[in-house]
Structure 1
């Protein structure tokens, strides 16, 4: 498969992921607005901080390293060994589920059963749902490696929609069930998700259609189960060692990714009601701060999480891990550089747009959704701070997806030492800044975290391409005209906010919105005229002819 074809498939996978994220956030947005009318903020806080953290931590520690290692293999590898390695995520998930469940039940503060009933059951079922989801990991990786776009769209959409329907039904008819509602819905979601992948491959393999798919490494559903390979090796030890390197990195990355939740959970800087309120505020804006903190990060997660996941696969397929750019196929190196350059430019422009316009419209967004309760006090400051964080989050997602796809095992191990120091400093900084300036401290600590990670990735990319003619980091420089347009738009919208928002009534608010729309149009128009290379990339990739087979 040529690099251009892989690029086309990665673009389609990213666009499908973007549509899925929009659907999921919209559903979550509406569902949370509905739930908050029936359940207490304490229950919402426990679910969205404590139980979701248990679930996400178990999954991340059990599978993240395996995904990165197994998706970066070459076309000549033995897929039987890769699938055997992936099945190890299940016992690992059982271990983490039991260990973390014990911590959640025995070492952490247990909520008042009169306020948050059935907490122990919630811990058990959220841990079990993580293990159930890991049963589908070999199917998921095989589908991602071969970019089965429709399968991903159908499985995840169906799972989320059915989970939301079940949650809404139980909240409406059985609100006294408390955490039972969310626990059963979560277990139902993971079961449906895994069944979608299992049923798809069961129907596909052995059918006349599968004989036409010569790239598919399995021919029967039993080939996806653990088995001894022809050479007698159960797993590929090179992949296993790379997995171990990524596992050490994943452990540290999880601290950086969910650090604020750990601070909330283990250090009790906020009570359960406050955690629920943080989530309540985040739902409006984001649907944005993924449960506790990602207040303002909706657009970055909607756009850049699918891009990071899809183009990690692209870079891993096109580039040979651990090899210098001058020692690889130059056509592939050039395509990878061009893609990285375009993705960095896209991340920078999207992040700057959110930062510039988010500053002047944070208070209005909060006021429209939640009224004075959200738009007064620290709410606007919190969201404005997140606008800067979104810029860093977007750039970091792109740089790390390239870095982790191109690093050798030794480089990953060296990077882990940096992550260890960064994780320790991040947790300390989060605690100190939160004590000093409240919840804004979480955002400031996250900005510090992202800034260091971006610097590390940029240094790696510079070293990787320094002996080649390609300079993808040049995309981080914008034209003076575009920078001036951003600065002018920021100034105009800031003045507009002072005079038109938010106490002057709706006519003034609409005028403020009109000013922002005009400035946004001018900014996007300037970007369209000045960033011709990026526009060409988006046009060509969105217009890539689609394959006709049913899998994509």
Structure 2
């Protein structure tokens, strides 16, 4: 498949993923604001930190490495052996669910049953929901590899909406159920998600002309584990790459969920403070998850399909390398500008956002400082998402193995930094530790990208510089909105708040206008790719 064709598919996947993330986060945003008025901070902390960490750790350790390895292969492969390899995620998920469930029940601090009832049931059901979700992993990878955009959007949207509705109804009608509410909703979510994929492929494979794509299977039974004609059960090349990614994934999970591990295992914050921190964390990560996550997921597939892992840039098809360089340059610029915009305006509007969202419980105390610090972290998060997206797709197996050592050092340094910084600065220390480690990860990825393109004529890293005019607008907007916050927000009434919002709107308009005039190359890229996705008559 040519690079331009893969780019068009990736752009369509990213744009639809962007809409999907907007839906996800808006629903979660409204749901959190709703449940804060019916449930205690302690229950919110247990669900959003302790139980969600159990679920995400189980799922991540069981499938992340398999996803990266199996999505990196070319079109010409024995899909039966790849599917066999993917089915290993289920027993691996059972192992992690049982092991981590035992840790959660017997080694961690158990909350007071009068404050947080049914904790044991919550641990069991959240672990079970992780295993249920892994049952659909072969179908998910097959759908992603063939760019079935519509399936992903419908399945995840439907499951999230139904889970949110069920949670809201149970919180409204049966608030005394405690963790039963979130346990049932989580299990319902994973069951609906897997069922959507099963029903889609059942209908697709049962029709006379399943798809305009050439699927590697013809029946649903062919998706189940089976022995191939060659006698090999799995693709050992993918299996070895999976093991390399697994070692890396274990370390990356510590970096991704590090603050939750520190809160869970070291008890640096009580359950109520954990709940407040998680709410502020979700609010701060709303924009990066909406914008950056679908881009990272979609363009990782693009880079993995266009580039060959074991070859340098000068040894590959120059047309594909050129496309990859242009895409990387544009994504880096987009990440930089989006992150800077969030950082500059987030600093001056953190207190107002928290006051509107959760009242004085969030806007007083450390909440505004926490969200302001997070706005800086968003900038690093944006750049790291794009750089690692390319790096992990282009690295050879040997480079992945070497990078695991770096990840180990980063994981250890993060845990140590988070522990001490939290004792010194409170919950803000978690974000400071994340900023430190994210900066190191960005440095590692930038070094790889520089070496990768060094012998070619492409220089995608030049996109990380800004024109003096644009830099000046960012500085001026930050200063004006900060002064506006001091004199208009947030103790001066709603009219003053509206004036503060109006000032920010004008500054934001000036910033976006300057971007439009100075970053013509990025604007052309966005117009081209968004236009290409709109011209598609229907999603595949």
Q: TM-score, normalised by structure 2?
A: 0.98
- The CA deviation at 1:371 is 3.2
SS at match of 2:209: helix
1:382 equivalent to 2:370? Answer: yes
Moved more, 162-171 or 123-132: 162-171
Equivalence for 2:231: 232
**Distance in 2 (alpha carbons) for counterparts of 1:334 and 1:545:** 21
Equivalence for 1:108: 108
- The CA deviation at 1:486 is 0.8
**Distance in 2 (alpha carbons) for counterparts of 1:545 and 1:509:** 39
1:449 is matched with which residue: 404, 415, 437? 437
- The CA deviation at 1:279 is 3.1
1:22 equivalent to 2:10? Answer: no
- The CA deviation at 1:193 is 0.3
Q: Give the 3 Å change call, closer, same or farther, for CA 546–520 of structure 1 in structure 2.
A: closer
**Distance in 1 (alpha carbons) for counterparts of 2:309 and 2:206:** 34
**Distance in 1 (alpha carbons) for counterparts of 2:398 and 2:112:** 48
**Distance in 2 (alpha carbons) for counterparts of 1:247 and 1:279:** 27
Moved more, 70-79 or 26-35: 26-35
1:171-186 map, 5 Å: 171-186=171-186
Equivalence for 1:259: 258
1:534 equivalent to 2:522? Answer: yes
**Distance in 2 (alpha carbons) for counterparts of 1:369 and 1:185:** 23
SS at match of 1:205: helix
Deviations 1:196-234 (A, max 9, x none): 001100110131222x53522111111111111121111
**Distance in 2 (alpha carbons) for counterparts of 1:271 and 1:56:** 21
**Distance in 2 (alpha carbons) for counterparts of 1:4 and 1:92:** 37
**Distance in 2 (alpha carbons) for counterparts of 1:350 and 1:6:** 25
**Distance in 2 (alpha carbons) for counterparts of 1:377 and 1:407:** 45
- Structure 2 residues not aligned, in runs of 5+: none
Q: TM-score, normalised by structure 1?
A: 0.96
- The CA deviation at 1:545 is 5.2
SS at match of 1:467: coil
1:8 equivalent to 2:12? Answer: no
Equivalence for 2:77: 77
**Distance in 1 (alpha carbons) for counterparts of 2:166 and 2:348:** 38
- The CA deviation at 1:16 is 1.0
Equivalence for 1:95: 95
- The CA deviation at 1:506 is 2.1
- The CA deviation at 1:77 is 1.1
**Distance in 1 (alpha carbons) for counterparts of 2:295 and 2:85:** 26
Deviations 1:471-513 (A, max 9, x none): 0001001111111111111111112222222222222222221
- The CA deviation at 1:370 is 2.9
Equivalence for 1:163: 163
**Distance in 1 (alpha carbons) for counterparts of 2:392 and 2:326:** 18
Equivalence for 2:291: 303
1:241 equivalent to 2:229? Answer: no
Asked if 1 retains the 8 angstrom alpha-carbon contact of 2:332 and 2:386, the reply is yes
- The CA deviation at 1:384 is 0.8
Q: Give the 3 Å change call, closer, same or farther, for CA 397–545 of structure 1 in structure 2.
A: closer
1:32 equivalent to 2:32? Answer: yes
- The CA deviation at 1:36 is 2.2
1:217-366 map, 5 Å: 217-280=216-279, 282=280, 289-290=281-282, 295-366=283-354
1:39-54 map, 5 Å: 39-54=39-54
Equivalent pairs, count: 540
Asked if 1 retains the 8 angstrom alpha-carbon contact of 2:12 and 2:533, the reply is no
- Structure 1 residues not aligned, in runs of 5+: 283-288
- The CA deviation at 1:548 is 6.3
Moved more, 498-507 or 401-410: 498-507
**Distance in 2 (alpha carbons) for counterparts of 1:245 and 1:524:** 42
1:421 equivalent to 2:380? Answer: no
SS at match of 2:297: helix
- The CA deviation at 1:549 is 7.7
Equivalence for 1:433: 421
Q: Give the 3 Å change call, closer, same or farther, for CA 135–550 of structure 1 in structure 2.
A: farther
Asked if 1 retains the 8 angstrom alpha-carbon contact of 2:146 and 2:213, the reply is no
**Distance in 2 (alpha carbons) for counterparts of 1:520 and 1:171:** 38
Q: Give the 3 Å change call, closer, same or farther, for CA 536–129 of structure 1 in structure 2.
A: same
Asked if 1 retains the 8 angstrom alpha-carbon contact of 2:33 and 2:357, the reply is no
**Distance in 1 (alpha carbons) for counterparts of 2:132 and 2:494:** 50
1:499 equivalent to 2:498? Answer: no
SS at match of 1:377: coil
SS at match of 1:208: coil
**Distance in 2 (alpha carbons) for counterparts of 1:541 and 1:549:** 15
SS at match of 1:543: helix
**Distance in 2 (alpha carbons) for counterparts of 1:551 and 1:533:** 27
